[in-house]
Structure 1
């Protein structure tokens, strides 16, 4: 059973949809077309990877377009065989005149709800604070996420270029607000920066899940602490290879996470950017990564338990897992 707990809406934009939305907005086609602009084909680093994701931003300037992309993202996840999916989005990126942050987030929630209704696949939205954004914008994202808790928003995250903006302290108040609203808490940490960022995120922000965390794999004491604390790593294999956070799937940090007893779940991060969706990620982990079917069963069981979802959805996932 596929449960996708780490995928970014901005990295899910179909190239054909990007082209259509661009034409409607009078935007020029990028050199080589939208597929070339959105897809990263060679290994580089996190900054280059994020530039490919950002290529979709200009076509996400309208609320209707955001809702459409969100609906299509659920449809694509359903076609991939996902039983549940959480979509991350950075609302401040798409806000502007006539598009307040809360309305951007609402449009995404409405699109996700439409996709779930059409496919039968439950899904939630995680609002992302962005490291490069000023504090007032991130505070507004947190307030909007709290206002829409229970109306599609299920969690809060902090994402962005960890190399250029490593500090986590600026987000403490926003995460405290989200925790009080009952939202799930996760943070991108140690994807590009050093291993201690994982413990900092847990202790200063109160997160239960870590996005990527690849650099933590070499710190055995930290992994032991994460196992004891129940910290869960959201692993995105192909993305980690493309950004240089992992050399290949056979040597991917997921093996060390599991060996240390850490909780692990899977995501496809930005499937249009990587060209790989979650179903193929799982197949590659088996064939190229050497991961055992038993380990994948363990990951699936963990995914059900740590997903940011309502109790009835979790109960349904448990039944599917047991069948």
Structure 2
């Protein structure tokens, strides 16, 4: 692949379905906010200014420590703008971001509505200014437990609509079972929200099957461990379940030792619908352009492959059909 072809690939319009808003916070933004609020974040950053963590569990604690400086709707408005500016600079035209009422108002519906209003208002301004469309997905936090998840689902149900379009689950996959959260997913489904859940990042194929069969999700966050069971891979392909893969994240966290070992190519070849996202990009030293570049270099994907990935993401997006069709018109033919 020559450099001109690679340059065209990394500049293609992109759609990202798996992005945690706090996890996308530039380190300088968090440090600046901490300084404004006189919050001590010692241990959160390395000497070079990047986020410091040893493994997945430590990553979660650093993530929550960094998030602790985000205390008001205005903080989240500023964060949303910073995140969307970075996404737009990477040619992202559509993005869905995970939002947790646990971090935005402590699970209180009234407080959550204030946070959501600030985020949405900022997103609408960014769409006018930057040409990037954002939609929100409420996530419960798995390691906070099922009772907290019910509060998150209530917040989601009370604000479901044309902007808040989905419900899902993030957090430590090694805590509890998918089915423990069925009540919350049922509540969200009844409110008209579409469903996704982190599964198969750390636990095996049975975790992916459980998310599909017990929670009724139509997308899976990560899902890469499904590759260990041909029957689960076949189920994903037959049911059209879409995987929100995050290859760079998986390599940095040690799910796979190197990108060449990542199963995204094998899953595509097996007929599974896959998309590409950054997850928590500054934590994992990645961007959407970098994901495209490394995938192209590693697997030899060309422009047609990446346009197929983007169309898959737009087809799987939780936005309304009119928004989807408008976005598709921005893709090269």
Determine if the TM-score, normalized by the shorter chain, exceeds 0.5.
yes
Aligned pair count reads: 320
C-alpha displacement of 1:147 = 2.0
Aligned positions of 1:77-156 closer than 5 A:
77-96=87-106, 100-150=111-161, 152-156=163-167
Structure 1: runs of 5 or more not aligned: none
C-alpha displacement of 1:317 = 1.8
Measured in 1, the distance between the counterparts of 2:266 and 2:176 equals 24
State the TM-score, normalized to the length of structure 2.
0.88
* 8 Å CA contact retained: 1:252, 1:289: no
Measured in 1, the distance between the counterparts of 2:107 and 2:240 equals 43
Structure 1, residues 8-64: CA drift from partner, whole Å, max 9, x if none? 1111112222122112212124258578675358xx542133233223212112221
C-alpha displacement of 1:144 = 1.5
Seen in structure 2, the aligned counterparts of structure 1 residues 162 and 35 have a Cα distance that, compared at 3 Å, is farther
Does residue 237 of the first structure (1) align with residue 258 of the second (2)? no
| Counterpart pick for 2:33 among 10, 13, 21 | 21
| Counterpart pick for 1:286 among 263, 286, 296 | 296
Structure 1, residues 212-254: CA drift from partner, whole Å, max 9, x if none? 0121112112101110010111110110011222221112110
RMSD: 2.3
Seen in structure 2, the aligned counterparts of structure 1 residues 191 and 35 have a Cα distance that, compared at 3 Å, is farther
Aligned positions of 1:209-248 closer than 5 A:
209-248=219-258
Structure 1, residues 81-124: CA drift from partner, whole Å, max 9, x if none? 10100111222034349983343344333333332233121110
Seen in structure 2, the aligned counterparts of structure 1 residues 35 and 316 have a Cα distance that, compared at 3 Å, is farther
State the TM-score, normalized to the length of structure 1.
0.91
Structure 1, residues 177-209: CA drift from partner, whole Å, max 9, x if none? 222222221000011111111111111111110
Measured in 1, the distance between the counterparts of 2:139 and 2:318 equals 14
* Corresponding residue of 1:192: 202
